[in-house]
Every structure is written in C-alpha cells, then in structure tokens.
Structure 1
C-alpha cells in the first residue's frame, strides 16, 4: 500500500492572511463553477437558468430520478448546493445539474466542439516563440520520411 502525505495542514492557525486566502479561493471557484439561478418545469421539460441569462432545457424522460414525480413535485424543485444541483426536499432528491447535462449526447458533443475550438486558439509563449523562429526560417519545416 502506498502512503500519501497530506499536503495541507488542517491544524494551522486561522489568521487574517489565511482567511483572506480562503475567501479569494472561494471567489475564484464561484466564478468558474456552474451557477444555476432558477429552475422551472413546463411541458415535460425542466428549464435550468444560469447567472448570465442563458439556460438549458432538459426533457425529464431521460432522467429516471424523476419517475413518479407529479406537477406539485416539479413545482417544489429548487436550485441548491450553491447553484450546482436541483433539489426536492420532500422527495429527498439532489441531482447534479452537470450530471444531467452530461447525459445528453448532443449537449456533450456541442460542449466538446466549443472546448476544442477554444483550446485551439490558445497559444503559449513557447508556441509563439517557435512560430516566430520557424517563420524566420521560411515556415514550419517539412516532415522528412525515413525509409528503412
């Protein structure tokens, strides 16, 4: 069995600096996380709205967690867990919004396409330097096939 040493000491005293650092980490996590603000149910679909005004429509037939739900149960759905889950306290239901979205193949394909496009535009300092060096030499060197 492998032993892993804890990287963070839980018994360190809470100072103003430690507290400020924790608050800043929380703000960064909040900005980068999925933040739903509202949920509604209409015509067999759950609509989840986010902080920026966007939303997603999720047909309940794809989610067995909602089998046996009635109109009142859907009306009692709330956004919980800091905007990351849909909750119904009477049914003791807490469903991850990201998990619900990941069930949809078309939504996942679209997300992969958007992420690929965004990542393809990113350039590091090393990439930029290599591109400049290759440009001075007349462009990217051609691949040479080695025949054995």
Structure 2
C-alpha cells in the first residue's frame, strides 16, 4: 500500500493555531501534572492529567538515589509534562523512561495492549465470519469413536 505525501503550505503562527497544536499534543500523549515525594515509601508519586498516578521507588534510579529528601521534595514537572526536573542539579529525567524501567508496569502495559489487539476486528475478519456464517458456521470437528 502506498501513501501519498500531502502538500501542506506553512500556516502562519497565530494564537489560535498555537492553542490547537498544544491541545492536539496534550490529547495524544500522557502528561504528568504533579510529583510528590513520599518519604515513608521513599517513592515518587507522579500524577497525570486524567487524575491517575503511579508511584516509582527512588532506589531504582541512581540519579534520584543520590538526592537527599529535601531535593526530592523540590522535583518539578517539566518539558510539557514529560520529565522530572531539578534545575539546581541540572537533572532532567524522562517519565516514560522511568516507567519503562519497571518490569511490572511494562508487563501490565503489554498485556493490556495484547488484550486490546485481540478484540480488534478487521474488515477482512468480519468478511470471513460472514462467509462462514452463510456456509453454516464453523465446521464441527469429527467425533472420534472411543471404542476403536
């Protein structure tokens, strides 16, 4: 299948165009909006725009392990909700990269993607199911006589 390239003239940068571009990006990527250090768990709680949150242990990240609790408290969200930042240490950590380090979270994500892909019905599958239905459905397996 070939996809033809689209010719797009450069649109002038206006406030309206910028607002739409920012809204499009925000709707397509998960954005962190808060970070909180949990001293009792020695973890960072990262909150997202949809009110969900994940806790990541500081011990998994050498860059964070070197910080004292006061510095962990001063971490901020930067780069459009994509990174944890501590400017005084010139520290910028990708949140997606931090999540990718967690085998449990990656395994959960993989199983959810697999389940979602398994429910997907393509046009070809739907057509094949209709054709099978017209022929009387899925053929039965031949029964085996247990006495033989």
TM-score normalised by the shorter chain: which range applies?
0.7 to 0.9
Structure 2 segments unaligned to the other structure (5+ residues)? 141-148
**1:67 to 1:9, Cα distance in 2 relative to 1, 3 A:** farther
Q: Deviations over 1:110-140 (max 9, x none)?
A: 1111111111111122221221112212334
**Counterpart position of 2:35:** 39
Structure 1 segments unaligned to the other structure (5+ residues)? 1-6, 143-148
**Counterpart position of 1:51:** 49
Q: Which has the larger radius of gyration?
A: 2
Match of 2:112 among 106, 111, 114: 114
Cα displacement (A) at 1:26: 4.4
Cα displacement (A) at 1:74: 0.7
2: CA distance, partners of 1:27 / 1:81: 15
**1:140 to 1:106, Cα distance in 2 relative to 1, 3 A:** same
**Counterpart position of 1:134:** 132
**Counterpart position of 1:62:** 60
Over aligned residues, Cα RMSD in angstroms? 2.7
**Counterpart position of 1:29:** 25
TM-score, with structure 1 as normaliser: 0.77
